[in-house]
Chain A
Amino acid sequence: MNREEIVPKVKEAFVTVLEHENFELLDTTTANDVDGWESITHMMIISEVEKKFDIKFKLMDLMNMDNVGDLLDTIVAELTTK
C-alpha cells in the first residue's frame, strides 16, 4: 500500500474520533490545524489507525511524530516490515 492509498483510511480514523470532516490531511498538517485534535484524541486516533491497518506503532516512533507526514511515513514503514 502506498501513501496515496493510505491517506483515505487515515482520514476515516480521524473522522471516527473527531466526529467532523472539516480538515485536510497534508504532510505538514499538525494538531494545531485540526479542530479537536489534542493529546487525548491523538491517542484515540493512533489506536484507531493501528486497528484499521492491523499494525502496532512503537513508542519511539510515536514520540517523534510531529505531523501527518510523519504519521504516514510510520504507517508505510510498519506495513512494509509486517
Chain B
Amino acid sequence: MEGIIKMEYIKQLKRSLKQYVGNNALCINGNFYTYRELAIAVSNIRNTLTIATQRQDKLIGLVTNDDLQTYASILALWLEGKAYVPINPEVPLERNLQVLSLTEATYVLDSSIASVYTDYTVLNPTVTDEVEIYVEPAVIDENDIAYILFTSGTTGQPKGVPITFSNVQALVTAIDDEPSFNLQASDRCLQMFELTFDFSVVAYLFPLLAGACFYTIPKGAIKYFYIFKLISEQKLTVLTMVPSIINYLRPYFSEINAPHVRYCSFGGGALHSDIAKEWSTCLPNSKIFNYYGPTEFTVYSGFYEYIPNSATKAYNGVIAIGTPQKNTSYLLVDQKNEEVAVGVTGELCLAGPQITNGYWKNKAKNTQSFFTRLESGVSVRYYKTGDLCIKDDEGDFLYVGRVDFQVKIRGYRVELAEIEFHARVKSDHKVAMVALAITNHLGNAELGLAIASDPFDTTTIFEHMRTQMPPYMIPMHTVFVKEFPHSINGKIDRKALKKYFDIHKD
C-alpha cells in the first residue's frame, strides 16, 4: 500500500476529478469538456482496460489523437498503474510499428474511426454515459513506467526513454516547491504539444492537478495563428511553448497584447534574449521562465526567470538556463567525466530522482550516457545531456551548444545522422549526403540536405524518408554541391557547407 501513498500526484489527479466536476478540464477544437465528463471518460476506459488486459500488461500503446478519449486514456492507464506508449498518427506507420514492437506492447488504445494497428489488440476508448465514476487509484508500484517516449536515434532506430511514476512524482514535487509558479483552478492553459513530445506532460498534467483548463491545437491547424487565436479569444493565462513559436510570430508582435497571461514558460530550445525582450512587451503582466530539461530527466530540471529591463544572463545571446530545481544536481564535466572549474565549458550532467532508469533495451547507449560518481561516500548516478554549459560565479548555468550532431527542430530533438541514414539507404546514387540545421532569417532551425553530386531527381529519396521519419525530420531544402568543402583535417566542413543554402532571401 505504501506505493499509493507515495504517488501523491495520482491522488491529486483523483481529487481534481472529484472536486472540480463543474470546471472545464479541456478545450479541444472549440469544444469544452468538464472534469465530470473527463471522469466519465476515464471510468469508461478503466472498465475497458479491466476487462481486456491483465495486471501484468503494463505498457499500452496510445494513438495520440486530439480528443477527450486520448487524454482520458492517459489518466485511466495511470490510475490502473499502467504506462502509455504514445504513437502519433501523423508519423509513418512503419516507425510506429517499430516503437510498438520495441516495447512489446500488445494492446493499443485508439480512438480513430478505423484503426490501422490490425496486428494488435485495439481497444476503443468509447465513452458511454452509463458508467459509475471510478477514479480511485489501483495499487501503483512507483518503479513502474508511467510513459515511454521515443526520440531520434543515430542508427535509424528510435531510442526509448522510459519514465517511471516516481520520476513524474519527483517532477511534480519540484515544481510544487517553486513559489514563483502556482497554477489555480481558474487558469486557462495552452497545451500546444503532440503527446509524443515530453513537453506535453507539463502542459496537460499541471493544469489537471490544479483543476484548471487546458486548450489543445487541432491537428492540421496552422499552429502559430491558432495559438494566437486562443491567447486572444480565450484569454489564456498560462503559456508553455517552444521558442520557435515566438520566432515565427515575431513579425506580428506589434499586434499582440495579452495582459491576462500570468506565466509564459519556454523550453525545448534556445531562447534568445532579444526576442524574449520584444515578446515580454506583448505580455505586460506575465512572468517569463526559461526552462531546461531533457526527456531523460522527466521534462524539466531547472529554470531561469527572465525579468525584462533587468540584467539578463546570456551567452551568445541565448538566455541562461539558471539553476537546478529541488532535489536535482547539475555537474559540468570534461571528456573524462571529471568536474570542470567555474567559468570553464563542460558537458552538463544531471542527477536526482527525475533521472530515467536508462534507455529502453539499449545497453551500449546506456554505458555511454550514464555514469556514477562517488560524492561524500554515496554513489550518485548522472545523465550526460550532450549539452555544453558554463557555470558562472553566482551558480547560474549558461547554455553554450551541443557536443554532437543533434539539433532541435521546432523543439524536437533530431539526430542529423538518422536523416543521413534514411536519405542514403535507398538512393541509387552512392554519394555523400549531409544533413544540416540551417538558421533562417527568423532565427529558426530548418533542415537542409546537401548532396555531393551533379543534380539528380531526389523524388525516391524523399518518398523513402517520408515513410521512415516524422514530418519535422524531412529536410526542407536540398542543394547539390559537386565537391564538399573539407577542413584541414579532412572532415567535411559543415559550417562552410551551410553557406550553399540560400534561405536568407530577404
Contacts and interface: CB of A to CB of B under 8 A. Distances in A.
Given A39-B222, A51-B506, A59 B410 contact: no
A43 B505 CA distance: 15
B249 to A, nearest CB: 8
A31 B471 CA distance: 14
Given A38-B471, A43-B248, A51-B506, A31 B222 contact: yes
A26 interface: no
A59 B248 contact: no
Contact-residue size bin, chain A (C-beta under 8 Å from the other chain): 10 to 19
Interface residues of B, number: 23
A43 B225 CA distance: 9
Interface string A11-34: 000000001000000000001100
Label chain A's interface by main secondary structure.
helix
Main SS of chain B's interface residues?
Answer: helix
A56 B251 CA distance: 9
Given A38-B471, A63-B229, A31 B255 contact: no
A64 B220 CA distance: 14
Contacts of A38: 471
Contacts of B251: 47, 56
A58 interface: yes
Contacts of A42: 222
A13 to B, nearest CB: 12
A68 B224 CA distance: 18
B228 interface: yes
Contact of B255 (A39, A41, A60): A60
Contacts of B93: none
A56 B253 CA distance: 13
A17 to B, nearest CB: 9
A39 B506 contact: no
B223 interface: yes
Chain A CB within 10 A, most for which of B224, B228, B249, B506: B224
Contacts of A7: none
8 contacts: A31-B220, A39-B224, A51-B505, A56-B251, A58-B255, A59-B225, A60-B255, A64-B229
Interface of A: 19, 31-32, 38-43, 47, 51, 56, 58-60, 62-65
Given A43-B224, A65-B222, 8 more contacts: A31-B220, A39-B224, A40-B446, A42-B222, A43-B248, A51-B506, A59-B225, A59-B252
